Amino acid sequence: MKPDSASVFTTDNEARAVEIISWFPRPRSAMIPLLHLAQQQDGYVSDAAMRRVGELIGVTTAEVKGTASFYEMFRFEPVGRYLINVCTNISCLLCGGEELLEHACEVLGTEVGGTTSDAMFTLEEVECIAACTEAPCLQVNYRYRGRVTNTDFDRLVEDLRAGQTDIPHHGVLSQVHQRTDAEHRAGIVPPEQAREAPVWISRNSDTQAGD
Amino acid sequence: MSTPHESDGYLAHAPGYVANDGPKLITSRFEHSDSFTLQRYLATGGYNGLQAALRATPQEVHQQVREATLLGRGGAGFPAGVKWGFLPPGKHPYYLVVNGDESEPGTYKDRLLMERDPHQLIEGCLIACYALGLQQCFLYVRGEMALAQERITAALNEAYEAGYVGREIRGSDFSVDIVMSQGAGAYIVGEETALIESLEGRRGMPRLKPPYFPAAVGLYGQPTIVNNVETLSNLPWLLTNGAEAYRSYGSETSPGTRMFAVSGHLQRPGVYEVQHGVTTFRELIYGNNYCQGIRQGRELKMFIPGGGSSPWFFGEHLDLPLEAKPVGAAGSMLGSGAIVVMDDTTDAVKAAWRVVKFFARESCGKCTPCREGTTWLEQILRRILDGEGRPADIDLLLDIGDNISPGPYPAAAHGELEAVPFPPRQTTICPLGPSAVAPVVSTIRRFRHEYEAKITRRDPIPVMAVPAGAAL
């Protein structure tokens, strides 16, 4: 079977990918945002998506894989609809993070790193997620919950199972996209095409930034 | 979830932030639940700093920032105005990269600034770009911060539409594009050269300095200013009110205010904006206006003064002001504005192990002393905790530490240890590896008996006899 990599992204996301690339002076800078786009669409980053990302930004699939594998948010196999990240770093450790993680394992019936058999939940132990005063804290698909008691956790799991939260499926980060058209932008070009001092600097030009 | 009460000073819409009676230079809008909208921003003096900047020359704006002695808020505490002056003349284009990859254990103030007041950050970016002739700004937000990404993106869309960002801003000849970009889970990307690598679409591994000082050779090889979110968020107030007004807050050498996240065993943990360089650790931890003391009236055992990378402090350090120099002289750093407080129930070895485990996990693997060293430190601490420690382990920990961050302390292990040298000497490209040494040395120095107690507790395990010829 020869996969048609142009059809990896939906038509909308293909357009979105082109839009993302247009915001950077060099296409390769769109690497991480495009991998997020792939994960947003499919819940994980497939091999086919990495091939397509490579085509879009002009690098090999190996370079895309080599880069993507450095960053721990990218998943290369499907995970649960909800990725629950429990923090056990120092502030959470002091306030019951380990105990919360243990409770989460029991409630979900899975080990750390595991996915429930109904594919609803994947549980991870993570490093500091910047909510330290709200310890112990966790994220569900990167949405925060703080000062989480065992009871809170149980209710959260129930709500997620019942579809009673506004948390989107795994892979969706910002639900707003930058959408300014070329006409209203200053103009994004490769560095080779921007060698002149900008006009508001040259106007004041006996001095320059860096003096 | 068990949300703390508003009567305690917490705000339901901004969990973690606690207002106090002090000056609010950068958190002034946090009290509004719609603080992130352009409408609220404009109604509360928003974009006045930009207007003031546009009425001045770029050089005058830069001069204001120099005169204010605005210190970088990311960790190193270097004056922003001086950093800006490192751009080599005439090597256009110059770029601005905003470091929003806040991941240092214990730290979170940039996240609140991005979520609660994204326009303030955008305005700060615009002022920097105007002052220095920077042609594009990249707002790199930590991957895990979905809400911050969303708020910044929405704010950028609004700001473009209203003519505050983009072509010929507010009818002037100043034009700049700002793009929101993201990380994807890698602490090391908070290091500025690693962040640039990531922004170029590569694995986020630090570059060697020299030659890769961003101001000289940065993004796409061009001169690049990398500033922290909180640093830039100070610029709108500074430009609106002037350097002199800015200097009326804080101390002579650390003007303005600073945000501190104070977490751990506290009555009222929180993120506070406080006078820079004036307030002491004691006031912040015990003051009624702030954290109100240790939980349940317990005793302080130790605290981390400046994020997971900083050497630890104890009771005798409480009266130091929140200022870089005295904290540095006492052997640590203010770092990222994260204070983690531990009471007398805390297991010092376990606490040190957890911080070391973080660095072991986050080591990018580029430099051997860090890649191997942090892993060994973690494993040795783990076995001590598991009751499998060996008598030589304390010396071994210090010896491995010395391989990552050469200093006097392994030799002194037989006598009184020296204070952790800070900034650390390093055998690595970036300070991540040395950061893992700080908690180890800090706790061995003060709580060696806790290590020894765990090690001597170990029961000898008899060697199992293996029958000859048995398959292993």
pLDDT of residue B329: 83
| DSSP secondary structure string for all residues of B232-257 | HHTHHHHHHHHHHHHHTSB-SSSBSE
Substitution target from A56, A69, A91 for chain B, most B beta carbons within 10 A: A91
Whether A89 and B354 lie within 8 Å, measured CB to CB: yes
Euclidean distance between CA atoms A69 and A74, whole angstroms: 7
**pLDDT (tens place) for every residue of chain B, 472 residues total:** 445 666 677 888 889 999 888 899 999 999 999 999 999 999 999 999 999 999 999 999 999 999 999 999 988 888 999 999 999 999 999 999 999 999 999 999 999 999 999 999 999 999 999 999 999 999 999 999 999 999 999 999 999 999 999 999 999 999 999 999 999 999 999 999 999 999 999 999 999 999 999 999 999 999 999 999 999 999 999 999 999 999 999 999 899 999 999 999 999 999 999 999 999 999 999 999 999 999 998 999 999 999 999 999 999 999 999 988 888 888 888 889 999 999 999 999 999 999 999 999 999 999 999 999 999 999 999 999 999 999 999 999 999 999 999 875 432 223 333 434 456 788 999 999 999 999 999 999 999 999 999 998 656 666 666 666 666 5
Alpha helix positions (H), B278-367:
281-286, 324-329, 348-362
Tens of pLDDT, residue by residue over A122-159, are 999 999 999 999 999 999 999 999 999 999 999 999 99
Query: What domains can be seen in chain B, in order of their start residue?
Result: 38-247 (3.40.50.11540), 257-343 (3.10.20.600), 348-454 (1.20.1440.230)
Q: Assign domain A5-76 to its CATH architecture.
A: Orthogonal Bundle (1.10)
pTM of the model as a whole: 0.94
pLDDT for residue A55 is more than 50: yes
Measured between CB atoms, does B107 come within 8 Å of chain A? yes
Nearest CA-CA distance, residue A103 and chain B, Å: 16
Tens of pLDDT, residue by residue over A186-196, are 999 999 999 99
CB contacts, 8 Å: B57 with chain A: 204
Nearest CB among B87, B144, B179 relative to A23 is that of B179
Measured between CB atoms, does A177 come within 8 Å of chain B? yes
Inter-residue contact B299 to B344 (CB < 8 Å): yes
| Closest CA in chain B for residue A139 | B144
Whether A184 and B261 lie within 8 Å, measured CB to CB: no
H helices, E strands: number in chain B: 16, 10
Nearest CA-CA distance, residue A1 and chain B, Å: 30
Q: Which residue has the tokens 């505050």?
A: B164
pLDDT of residue B3: 52
Inter-residue contact B72 to B78 (CB < 8 Å): yes
Alpha carbon dihedral A143, A147, A152, A154, in 10-degree steps, equals: 70
Measured between CB atoms, does B387 come within 8 Å of chain A? no
Q: Which residue has the tokens 């392994």?
A: B410
Residues 96-115 of A with CB under 8 A from B: none
CB contacts, 8 Å: B13 with chain A: none
Give A116: exposed, middle or buried? Use CB within 10 Å, 0-12, 13-18, 19+.
middle
Structural domain spans, chain A? 5-76, 82-162
Euclidean distance between CA atoms B26 and B241, whole angstroms: 13
Token readout for B96 is: 């601005």
H helices, E strands: number in chain A: 8, 4
Whether B166 and A30 lie within 8 Å, measured CB to CB: no
ipTM of this complex: 0.95
A to B CB pairs, distance under 8 Å = 274
pLDDT of residue A13: 97
Nearest CA-CA distance, residue A67 and chain B, Å: 5
Alpha carbon dihedral B289, B229, A19, A186, in 10-degree steps, equals: 120
Q: Which CATH superfamily is domain A82-162 in?
A: Glutaredoxin (3.40.30.10)
How many whole angstroms from its chain centre is CA A36?
A: 5
Euclidean distance between CA atoms B180 and B316, whole angstroms: 44
| Closest CA in chain B for residue A198 | B133
Residue B61: which H helix or E strand, with range?
A: helix B58-68
pLDDT of residue B41: 98
Residues 249-308 of B with CB under 8 A from A: 261-265, 269-271, 304, 308
Token readout for A97 is: 């993070």
Handedness of CA B129, B132, B138, B139 (dihedral sign): negative
- With a CB cutoff of 8 Å and minimum separation 6, the contacts of B227 are B72, B74, B80, B83, B96, B97, B98, B99, B128
Whether B361 and A199 lie within 8 Å, measured CB to CB: no
Whether B355 and A186 lie within 8 Å, measured CB to CB: no
Substitution target from A36, A82, A155, A174 for chain B, most B beta carbons within 10 A: A174
Nearest CB among B2, B94, B200 relative to A209 is that of B94
- Nearest-5° Cα angle at A50, A49 to A53: 85
Euclidean distance between CA atoms B231 and B120, whole angstroms: 11
E runs forming strands in A40-165: 82-87, 121-126, 138-140, 143-145
Nearest CA-CA distance, residue B41 and chain A, Å: 19
Substitution target from B10, B17, B82, B92 for chain A, most A beta carbons within 10 A: B92
Whether B271 and A133 lie within 8 Å, measured CB to CB: yes
pLDDT of residue B85: 96
Q: Do A5-76 and A82-162 agree at the fold level?
A: no
| Closest CA in chain A for residue B128 | A209
Nearest to A97 by CA among B267, B296, B263, B6: B263
Q: What distances in angstroms separate CA A47 from CA A8, A9, A11, A54, one per listed residue?
A: 10, 12, 19, 11
Nearest to B341 by CA among B270, B290, B266, B287: B266
Q: What distances in angstroms separate CA A187 from CA A28, A190, B97, B399, B467, one per listed residue?
A: 18, 10, 17, 54, 77
Inter-residue contact A94 to B342 (CB < 8 Å): yes
Residues 65-84 of A with CB under 8 A from B: 66-68, 70-74
Nearest CA-CA distance, residue A88 and chain B, Å: 8
